[in-house]
Amino acid sequence: MTYFVTGGAGFIGSHLVDTLLARGATVVAYDNFNDYYDPARKRRNIAAALTHANFTLIEGDIRDRGALDAAFLQHRPTHIAHLGAMAGPRYSVAHPFLYEEVNVRATMHILDLARLYAVQGMIVASTSSVYGALPTPWDESQSADTPLSPYAATKRAAELLAYTYHYQYGVPTRVLRFFTVYGPRGRPDMTPSLFVDSMLAGKPITLFNGGMGVYRDWTYVADIIAGIVAALHTDVAFGTFNLGNSSPVELISFVRMLEAITGYAAIIEDKPLPAADPPRTFANISRAQALLGFQPQTSLDVGLSAFWKWYRSEYDI
């Protein structure tokens, strides 16, 4: 089996690459190493995979259909994990057209190639952000038609296209809504890295509403990878699945846990919650539990300790 992982050098993608290689698969990672964050980080993410005989790295853009065609012709993937995307919700507010190009149009190219090569299984990465500010806990039967940011809207559009490609062309697509993923190799624009950066530098961290009443359903990256692997191989021809921890933590408790683990104190600066951020994320994961056997294993303190261990080696602390 040959797995084509778009965004394979990113945070989640590189973990998936490592897991698939460890299972004996042939893996092709396709990534454009854009500078949304330091591309050198992405190169470190896949450094170990590059030593593996079953691994191929293609540096290319998913907006470039010619490059994608050539990659598919050469490698003929049996499975696709489409993780490549512009991923930051706040950045999308200032760059909506970029998000449309990468998250919608390019996703159509990947779906189209899945159709042409009759792949056996495909996942499309989506996000809890599609739920906007709907009442929690969120389950997949909710309407998800009031996204708060261009990022969330483009991911929702990609979800709808995934359904259409299943309905019209029989592409076996599973849409996975990830909930605030964290862990080793975590993106530098996400809360765990931003907070630890500031705590180490003695700078204030921005805590929306003082961290009170703001909840996030932190999901450890290894648990997400287990969900992706299950979804790639399920018999469910089309499905939309929440992959979350189903255990939201108030932001102030998150900060206190981070202080305890790192031994550094946080200086808290209070700001109002940005309009692109919902006050609470909370996954109902019954469907993924029932159909994918998904069961998150990692508590926040264990996962944050693993993140901190990685952060120390990454930044030589």
Ligand X SMILES: NC(=O)c1ccc[n+]([C@@H]2O[C@H](COP(=O)([O-])OP(=O)(O)OC[C@H]3O[C@@H](n4cnc5c(N)ncnc54)[C@H](O)[C@@H]3O)[C@@H](O)[C@H]2O)c1
241 interacts with ligand X by CB under 6 A: no
Cβ nearer to ligand X, comparing 207 with 283: 283
Q: How far is the CB of 218 from ligand X (least distance, A)?
A: 9
Mark residues 46-85: x for contact with ligand X by CB under 6 A, - for none: ---------------xxx-------------------xxx
Residues 171-210 that bind ligand X (CB under 6 A): 178, 180-181, 187
Burial class from Cβ neighbours inside 10 Å (0-12, 13-18, 19+) for residue 1 reads: middle
Cβ nearer to ligand X, comparing 181 with 205: 181
Residues designated as active site: 151
Q: How far is the CB of 12 from ligand X (least distance, A)?
A: 4
232 interacts with ligand X by CB under 6 A: no
Residues 90-149 that bind ligand X (CB under 6 A): 102, 106, 125, 127
Residue from the set 4, 5, 10, 130 that interacts with ligand X by CB under 6 A:
10
> How many Å apart are CA 206 and CA 184, to the nearest integer?
22
Q: Which residue is nearest to ligand X (CB)?
A: 10
33 interacts with ligand X by CB under 6 A: yes
Binding site for ligand X (CB under 6 A): 7, 9-13, 31-34, 42, 61-63, 83-87, 102, 106, 125, 127, 178, 180-181, 187
